[in-house]
């Protein structure tokens, strides 16, 4: 009896400590189109709170869901695996748009049989799941598709680009469960909608400011008094003049909305979502913005054909609503040399956000253009307060040209990041921006003149103030060459670890820049950027060093694609007390469970958790090590152990409170 109670107590204790999560269950189904064509359906049922990532995620993001099929010479794969719409959000940690699935997901692969006697098709899915506090290492699940149990469907079922709900092979849910799922779906959609709305508002705000900037260009500003004067003189009374001017403003909005709608319709809302990480689109955008910038700087003018303007002017004389519309169209064509680069830049930036962002962007831009015409028509006396046209209008163009030049390198940087070419690394990007904004400051101070500038006899207070702001910004960026985070512009340059030297120009991994100090690093050790914490990625080498210096060990089970791991490193490890403990009081061993580098041939062993499967990757080795030793498979996961691998205190996971995390560190250190 005593033995039974002891075994029961041990079992309860083991289950309480065990945190091995398996939140995704996979099932398969087959749809038969003909004797030789089938659709393989993989259904994922996801536990509440967890989300499964899409097949299509940007480089340097989470691990995508990936399917492989044993085709040999018996099966021909038709196109790629099609997935459902899912939820797309702007992830603040990865700084990219990421698509994932909650509750359930279906994936469909169209195939043609070469060997019609085949009855079973084997496949494998690699995937990664996270919740709000942790991520799991990449999992590999075998999938078997039984063609003998296929359900007949029409060919049109797989012809559509969007996926209809796949065959449900799980047990039917009761009404309460269905209701709960509906609430969960609604909550996820609401959360996503909030993020999308926030992003669209940002696009609208930037476009609105860009519209006002366009007003202050030589092609648009002089047309305000001319147009308002036309409406007030040609109208029978003031009320009709105001009415016509308002219609004129609305026509401007409609024209630009048509442009935004056309961009969305041509590319498609879903296709636009991929622009942010598509190499060719980013390179094309870079070239376009360089052309726009050179145009604003005075190298040449981007003009639409004169015959377009002549034909539109002829239609504008017809009068009535049609005439007013063509007057607005004439404004858009005539002012294109100034507004075109701004509109093009806005469309590029909005297109990279995806969805209806181009429409929202054009609405904000056109609203800013149209408002002054309507307001000055209502209050003609305000025209007297407008500054006179002059050289300052060209200065506005030049400033916009410098801004477009700087923005262009953001898109080139994104292409470089995706391809991992390391051509435009962080230091190079920052150096380019310092050169651009430094030159702009010299221009504003009158030290540089460009082709269309008027003679500058003195510098106005406004120009001097703007020059000082630009010069301050330029000086602010200089420490970025030595590893400063530059939080004000953190969304633009490459991340800190995508650098020629993660510790700043002139610094080595030791942080001191001398080869002698670099040689003092122990075997297998490196300094973790940007905190310069001595860390090991090899367990045995880390333990050997810990024994040598007689310090406890902190095992950091992490992942390159672990969102909350980065949050801990960026927000908690920077705390003075925590950072001091990590640097001075223990030995850090960081084990990446999603490391896709292959193990050496003599290190490949059979999995203890999945008999018959081999551990081929470094990440699989550390993931299995964590699961077996600590009975958990979530990241981040931290454990303080002694030289024999025995835990000194209860391990912890995601702990965003720095004080709580430090107290945990202090408790473990005190027990060494």
Mapping DSSP onto H, E and C, the string for 39-100 reads EEEEEEEECCCCEEECCCCCCCCCCCCEEEECCCCCEEEEEEEEECCCEEEEECCCCEEEEE
Measured CA to CA, the distance from residue 45 to residue 162 in angstroms comes to 20
Q: Using 50, 70 and 90 to split pLDDT, how confident is the model at 536?
A: very high
Over range 544-570, report the average pLDDT. 85
Is the N-terminal amide bond of 636 cis, ω within 30° of 0? yes
Over range 373-380, report the average pLDDT. 71
pLDDT the model gives residue 418: 62
Is the N-terminal amide bond of 9 cis, ω within 30° of 0? no
- Is residue 501 within 8 A of residue 428, CB to CB? The reply is no
Of 49-53, 73-77, 323-327, 354-358, which range is least confident?
Answer: 354-358
Q: Which letter, b or e, does each residue of 253-284 get, where b requires 16 or more Cβ atoms within 10 Å of its Cβ?
A: bebbbebbeebbeebeeeebbbbbbbeebbbe
Q: What pTM did the predictor assign?
A: 0.49
Percent of the chain clearing pLDDT 90 (strictly above): 15
- Exposed, middle or buried by CB within 10 Å (0-12, 13-18, 19+), for 237? exposed
Measured CA to CA, the distance from residue 19 to residue 80 in angstroms comes to 35
Which among 351, 331, 196, 355 has a CA at the least distance from the CA of 256? 331
Q: Using 50, 70 and 90 to split pLDDT, how confident is the model at 420?
A: low
Q: Which residue has the higher pLDDT, 334 or 632?
A: 632
Measured CA to CA, the distance from residue 477 to residue 492 in angstroms comes to 12
Place of tokens 């899912």: 86
Which contiguous run of DSSP H or E holds residue 248? helix 238-267
Percent of the chain clearing pLDDT 70 (strictly above): 69
Look at phi and psi of residue 395 and say left if phi exceeds 0, alpha if psi is from -120 to 50, else beta.
Answer: alpha
End-to-end CA distance of the chain: 37
Pairing, β 553-558 against β 151-152: unpaired
Over range 31-52, report the average pLDDT. 87
pLDDT the model gives residue 335: 66
pLDDT the model gives residue 269: 45
Measured CA to CA, the distance from residue 188 to residue 49 in angstroms comes to 10
Sheet architecture: strand order including 87-91: 87-91, 96-102, 51-53, 129-130
Provide the token pair at 430: 């920052």
Measured CA to CA, the distance from residue 150 to residue 113 in angstroms comes to 14
Domain 22-168 has CATH 2.60.40.1250: yes
- Exposed, middle or buried by CB within 10 Å (0-12, 13-18, 19+), for 116? exposed
Which contiguous run of DSSP H or E holds residue 325? helix 320-334
At 340 the three-state DSSP class reads helix
Residue 29 has pLDDT above 80, yes or no: yes
Pairing, β 139-146 against β 120-127: antiparallel
| Segment of 16-20, 181-185, 266-270, 332-336 carrying the highest mean pLDDT | 332-336
Which among 359, 333, 328, 329 has a CA at the least distance from the CA of 346? 359
pLDDT the model gives residue 170: 35
Pairing, β 96-102 against β 24-32: unpaired
Beta bridge partners of 42: 28, 107
Taking all residues of the chain, what is their mean pLDDT, rounded to a whole number? Answer: 75
pLDDT tens, position by position, 162-182: 443 333 333 333 434 433 444
| Segment of 7-11, 32-36, 55-59, 273-277 carrying the highest mean pLDDT | 32-36
At 16 the three-state DSSP class reads helix
Secondary structure string (H, E, C) spanning 613-628: CEECEHHHHHHHHHHH
Over range 37-48, report the average pLDDT. 89
- Residue 117 DSSP class: T
Look at phi and psi of residue 483 and say left if phi exceeds 0, alpha if psi is from -120 to 50, else beta.
Answer: left
Domain boundaries, the chain: 22-168, 197-424, 515-670
pLDDT tens, position by position, 178-237: 334 444 444 444 444 444 555 677 778 888 887 777 777 666 666 677 676 666 666 556
Q: Using 50, 70 and 90 to split pLDDT, how confident is the model at 502?
A: low
pLDDT the model gives residue 116: 75
pLDDT the model gives residue 407: 83
Q: Which residue has the higher pLDDT, 162 or 68?
A: 68
- The phi and psi torsions of 67 (rounded to 5 degrees) equal -110, 140
Residue 614 has pLDDT above 90, yes or no: no
Residue 531 has pLDDT above 80, yes or no: no
Measured CA to CA, the distance from residue 49 to residue 40 in angstroms comes to 27
Please count the CA atoms within 13 angstroms of the CA of 624 that sit on its side-chain side. Answer: 18
Over range 114-126, report the average pLDDT. 84
Q: Using 50, 70 and 90 to split pLDDT, how confident is the model at 641?
A: very high
Residue 404 has pLDDT above 70, yes or no: yes
Q: Using 50, 70 and 90 to split pLDDT, how confident is the model at 115?
A: confident
Please provide the DSSP assignment of 266-296 as one string: HH-HHHHHTGGG-HHHHHHHHHHHHHHHHHH
What are the distances in angstroms from CA 81 to CA 42, 53, 145, 388? 10, 14, 15, 61
Q: Which letter, b or e, does each residue of 384-419 get, where b requires 16 or more Cβ atoms within 10 Å of its Cβ?
A: eeeeeeeebbbbbbbbbbbbbbbbbbbbbbbbbbbe
Which among 577, 580, 632, 625 has a CA at the least distance from the CA of 605? 625
Overall CATH class of domain 515-670? alpha beta
Measured CA to CA, the distance from residue 453 to residue 445 in angstroms comes to 13
Measured CA to CA, the distance from residue 196 to residue 583 in angstroms comes to 40
Measured CA to CA, the distance from residue 536 to residue 546 in angstroms comes to 10
Q: Using 50, 70 and 90 to split pLDDT, how confident is the model at 66?
A: confident
Fold agreement between 22-168 and 515-670: no
């Amino acid at each position: 009896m005593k033995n039974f109670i002891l075994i029961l107590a041990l079992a309860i204790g083991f289950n309480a400590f065990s945190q091995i999560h398996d939140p995704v269950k996979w099932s398969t189904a087959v749809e038969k189109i003909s004797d030789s064509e089938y659709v393989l359906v993989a259904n994922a049922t996801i536990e509440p709170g967890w989300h499964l990532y899409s097949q299509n995620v940007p480089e340097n993001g989470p691990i995508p869901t990936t399917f492989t099929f044993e085709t040999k010479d018996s099966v021909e794969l038709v196109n790629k695996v099609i997935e459902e719409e899912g939820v797309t959000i702007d992830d603040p940690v990865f700084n990219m748009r990421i698509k994932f699935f909650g509750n359930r997901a279906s994936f469909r692969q169209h195939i043609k049989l070469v060997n019609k006697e085949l009855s079973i098709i084997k496949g494998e899915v690699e995937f990664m799941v996270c919740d709000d506090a942790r991520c799991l290492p990449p999992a590999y699940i075998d999938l078997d598709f039984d063609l003998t149990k296929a359900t007949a469907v029409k060919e049109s079922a797989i012809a559509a680009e969007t996926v209809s709900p796949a065959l449900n092979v799980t047990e039917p849910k009761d009404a309460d469960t269905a209701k709960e799922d509906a609430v969960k779906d609604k909550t996820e959609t609401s959360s996503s909608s909030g993020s999308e709305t926030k992003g669209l508002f940002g696009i609208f705000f930037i476009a609105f400011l860009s519209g006002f900037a366009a007003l202050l260009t030589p092609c648009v500003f002089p047309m305000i008094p001319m147009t308002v004067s036309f409406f007030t003189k040609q109208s029978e009374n003031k009320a009709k003049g105001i009415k016509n001017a308002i219609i004129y403003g609305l026509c401007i909005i409609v024209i630009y909305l048509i442009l935004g709608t056309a961009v969305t319709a041509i590319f498609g809302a879903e296709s636009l979502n991929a622009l942010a990480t598509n190499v060719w689109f980013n390179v094309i955008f870079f070239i376009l913005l360089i052309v726009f910038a050179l145009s604003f700087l005075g190298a040449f003018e981007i003009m639409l054909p004169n015959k377009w303007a002549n034909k539109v002017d002829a239609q504008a004389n017809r009068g009535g609503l049609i005439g007013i519309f063509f007057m607005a169209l004439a404004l858009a064509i005539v002012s294109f040399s100034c507004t075109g680069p701004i509109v093009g830049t806005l469309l590029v930036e909005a297109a990279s956000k995806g969805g209806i962002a181009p429409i929202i962007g054009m609405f904000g831009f056109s609203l800013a253009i149209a408002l002054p015409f309507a307001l000055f028509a209502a209050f003609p006396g305000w025209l007297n307060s407008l500054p006179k046209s002059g050289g300052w209008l060209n200065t506005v163009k030049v400033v916009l040209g410098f801004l477009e030049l700087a923005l262009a390198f953001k898109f080139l940087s994104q292409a470089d990041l995706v391809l991992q070419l390391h051509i435009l690394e962080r230091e190079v990007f920052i150096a380019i921006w310092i050169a651009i904004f430094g030159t702009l400051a010299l221009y504003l101070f009158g030290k540089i003149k460009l082709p269309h500038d008027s003679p500058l006899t003195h510098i106005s207070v406004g120009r001097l103030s703007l020059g000082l702001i630009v010069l301050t910004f330029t000086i602010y960026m200089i420490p970025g060459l030595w590893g400063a985070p530059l939080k004000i512009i953190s969304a633009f340059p490459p991340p800190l670890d995508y650098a020629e030297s993660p510790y700043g120009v002139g610094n080595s991994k030791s942080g001191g820049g001398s080869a002698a100090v670099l040689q003092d690093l122990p075997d297998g050790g490196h300094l973790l950027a940007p905190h310069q914490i001595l860390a090991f990625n090899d367990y045995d080498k880390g333990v050997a060093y810990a024994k040598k210096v007689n310090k406890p060990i902190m095992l950091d089970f992490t992942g390159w694609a672990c969102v909350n791991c980065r949050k801990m490193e960026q927000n908690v490890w920077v705390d003075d007390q925590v950072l001091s403990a990590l640097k001075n009081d223990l030995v850090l061993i960081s084990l990446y469970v999603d490391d896709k580098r292959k193990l050496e041939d003599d290190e490949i062993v059979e999995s203890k958790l999945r008999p018959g499967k081999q551990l081929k990757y470094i990440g699989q080795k550390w993931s299995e090590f964590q699961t077996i030793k600590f009975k958990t498979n979530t990241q981040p996961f931290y454990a303080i152990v002694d030289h024999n691998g025995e835990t000194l205190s209860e391990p912890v996971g995601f702990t965003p409170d720095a004080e709580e995390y430090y107290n945990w560190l202090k408790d473990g250190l005190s027990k060494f």
